[in-house]
Chain A
């Protein structure tokens, strides 16, 4: 569905992305993972041409993205990012309806779609439609952001650390909700994060980027089992250690609970 071919981006003399090639199959979620400055956001933005590649190309469903007008291309690609970027002068419903309206959908269809999406992201349309962004919590804002990205039934979804600025319980709830939505819509997704746990939980496959180059791509299992180099191994080390510590704590807690019940 999405194909990056020898993609490169230079800013002056710095190479932000260096000869990157990868494919995302239809319905698949590929995570771009790496430390800040590794080029993952730049790569993502080259897909919807918020950044123009210096070399190489992006193909979506076999068509070169460079051949389309950027605005028309972007209407077919959902885009969701950490700052959310809800328009403060528009209600939640108006924010969600933007791309369908840009595509000249008729108004009943737009309204139907808005309700459908707000339900999908679990915001009761009756009470949330007319709220302005400043009347919503951070988590609610990002749910509207996701609904906006999905509104025009895009073939492709780009997400740039969408849950990065949310508090952990909200982040967890939204991650799980997002997995359900993705399963429901079977949408092809490229997902940027620097959070290893998030990458492991959400990704069908993970592409690890290191200083603009693709260090390794594989399923979470492959990356954990056989990291290609020290960078990947280093990245995988943190979640593994945290998981083991958490598991030990859980075991401990279960032991205490069990013994208490026997008495």
Chain B
């Protein structure tokens, strides 16, 4: 709990940077748009319609969609205007959250202004106000309580939804929740959720208090609430400025996917870079796995760990029998260097294969040791897989080679998969061979006796820019060649998943032992 709370200032600040700026931009855009819409009825339908459609996109999907959208925009600006747009991190999260904040503010602005009594409009015209004076002196003040209600709704939504910006690479209180769920650290999940909820309540109450104070002309209240809001924004602005001054000098950014092993490895690599190359390094965790490769290619992250089979199947789009571990590694290495300028600095020494797993006791009862044994029984069994598994080429290949036809295929979060098979809710899962929970839950990995699934050597990949500009980083990472076998990796994972140790701590302990 203590080590979780130590992360709070950084995560909370990042959360404020995202949500307060998104709300400010959202309100700054929505209120004039709402006013404009009340002046043109046809426009109101269009604006509210578009905002409504955006709102129906699930927030996680909206955030994820910003990444390819910005990557595409980045290609355009790079070729026409000569600058690149960052497609992961703060910007996509900010844009998505801003879009998300707009509907309630737009709706209430339109409703608030349209709700002003006809006789007051006539009075405003009668006393000689111009359209603008009528808006500023009569319509907006009278619509204010309604507009503020919309801003408050947006505040709660945005602060809540900002926790989902972790997978697109923006730090937030969601980092607690994503990594906590993956590493079974419920203290982290709790800290993240409670902090986000408290923040939402506090900002909401400040907005309410400010609006009441203005409406009832209670100066002390306005000063207090306005001061609190101003202080939050000043703090946020200050934190941006501070980051800017601190960001002097190069920094190596290490990406990670959303599972325990990746958290540990990203910390391991960050530690190795700092020790051996003397550069500052930062782990950017819980990124979506499709985001990572593109981010590495474009230089938004510098290093991450991927697996030879994943690249072979999903990026090189190779099908058919993969061949030996060495030949796949050689092919992948040549492909990455040749096509993308990405360097394989080291193979860590272990494989993290996709492997089908069952409860030891269940497998023994059915006398199953290989996938060929499993195939004839599959019609009576249920299989669970992580979100990606059933659309991955490995699954297609497995099904084709062994003729699997399971009674039911169920997608679930990878952190729940192991529990599901242990509890007998599914019979087979798509396990990762290094997962600490294989031992913890007494699972048996079934052997891929026809060698359909490619080898999954864990490879430390260095992006083209870092490879060019920081040979010392490449040299430092070459020192990680072959340091972990499958058992060692399982132990590290278990230390985090079952013993509740922090990925960073586990990684640093390992580095100590290496040196």
Q: Bound state CA distance, A102 and B128, in angstroms?
A: 8
Residue A148 interfacial (CB < 8 Å): yes
Q: Bound state CA distance, A76 and B127, in angstroms?
A: 9
Q: Which of A71, A84, A148 has the most CB of B within 10 A?
A: A71
Which residues of A78-105 are within 8 A (CB) of B? Answer: 79, 81, 83-89, 98-99, 102-103
Q: Bound state CA distance, A84 and B117, in angstroms?
A: 12
B residues less than 8 Å from A213 (CB atoms)? none
Residue B138 interfacial (CB < 8 Å): yes
A residues less than 8 Å from B124 (CB atoms)? 85, 87
Residue A72 interfacial (CB < 8 Å): yes
Indicate if the CB atoms of B127 and A148 lie closer than 8 Å.
Answer: yes
Count of interface residues, chain B, beta-carbon cutoff 8 Å: 18
User: What 1/0 flags go to A35-49 for Cβ under 8 Å of B?
Assistant: 000000000000010
Residue A75 interfacial (CB < 8 Å): yes
How far, in Å, is B130 (CB) from chain A's closest CB? 4
Which residues of B116-140 are within 8 A (CB) of A? Answer: 117, 119-120, 122-130, 133, 137-138
Residue A233 interfacial (CB < 8 Å): no
A residues less than 8 Å from B127 (CB atoms)? 74-75, 79, 98-99, 102, 148
Residue B405 interfacial (CB < 8 Å): no
Indicate if the CB atoms of B123 and A102 lie closer than 8 Å.
Answer: no
Identify which of B123, B130, B133, B215 contacts A87 (C-beta below 8 A).
B123
Identify which of B119, B125, B128, B133 contacts A84 (C-beta below 8 A).
B119
Given contacts A87-B138, A102-B133, contact A81 B128 (CB under 8 A): no
Which residue of B has the minimal Cβ distance to A88?
B142
How far, in Å, is A75 (CB) from chain B's closest CB? 3
How far, in Å, is B365 (CB) from chain A's closest CB? 77
B residues less than 8 Å from A148 (CB atoms)? 127
Which residues of B128-158 are within 8 A (CB) of A? Answer: 128-130, 133, 137-138, 141-142
A residues less than 8 Å from B122 (CB atoms)? 50, 81, 83, 85
Q: Bound state CA distance, A85 and B138, in angstroms?
A: 11
Indicate if the CB atoms of B125 and A50 lie closer than 8 Å.
Answer: yes
Identify which of B126, B133, B138, B215 contacts A81 (C-beta below 8 A).
B126
Q: Bound state CA distance, A206 and B408, in angstroms?
A: 89
Q: Bound state CA distance, A102 and B133, in angstroms?
A: 9
A residues less than 8 Å from B125 (CB atoms)? 50, 70-71, 74
Q: Bound state CA distance, A98 and B125, in angstroms?
A: 12
Q: Bound state CA distance, A83 and B141, in angstroms?
A: 20
21 contacts between A and B (CB under 8 A): A50-B122, A50-B125, A71-B125, A71-B130, A71-B133, A74-B125, A74-B126, A74-B127, A75-B128, A76-B128, A85-B119, A85-B124, A86-B123, A87-B120, A87-B137, A87-B138, A88-B120, A89-B215, A98-B127, A102-B133, A103-B128
In order of increasing CB-CB distance, the 8 nearest A-B pairs are A85-B123, A75-B128, A83-B119, A79-B126, A74-B128, A85-B119, A71-B130, A98-B127
